[in-house]
Structure 1
Amino acid sequence: MWARKQANESRAIPRDYLDGVGAFPERLPWLILTGRFPHDCQLMVDQWAEWALGVVEAWPMT
């Protein structure tokens, strides 16, 4: 799903900082704070999509 793909791609960014090669290391505290919001939104979209798929699959075919 889209949200899971986005979350997986975003994982490389913090890894760069842990390896000491992240861009703008002085901005790290703000990046951590603001990076949490899109991460949580991506997880929420993924959870909603799984729920919605289950609902739609239970609908009658008519």
Structure 2
Amino acid sequence: MSAQLRPAEAPPPAARSPDSETDPAADAALGSWLRRELGRLYDAALTEPLPEALTALLDAGRQDRE
């Protein structure tokens, strides 16, 4: 798996301190930016097959429950 890191299209909205009031528009903007950037970085990993060792481990756990 290889991920190419490149600069974001736009910087994230300014971070707020935990004490600041919640701004719904800023929260929505940050959420949108975060989903877009995480998707850009990691969506390709979701299409990769599971390693055989992990598949075998999951199958063994499933058989233990039966």
Question: TM-score with structure 2 length normalisation?
Answer: 0.33
Q: Which has the larger radius of gyration?
A: 2
Bigger fraction of residues in helix = 1
Bigger relative contact order (CA 8 A; separation at least 6): 1
TM-score normalised by length of structure 1: 0.35
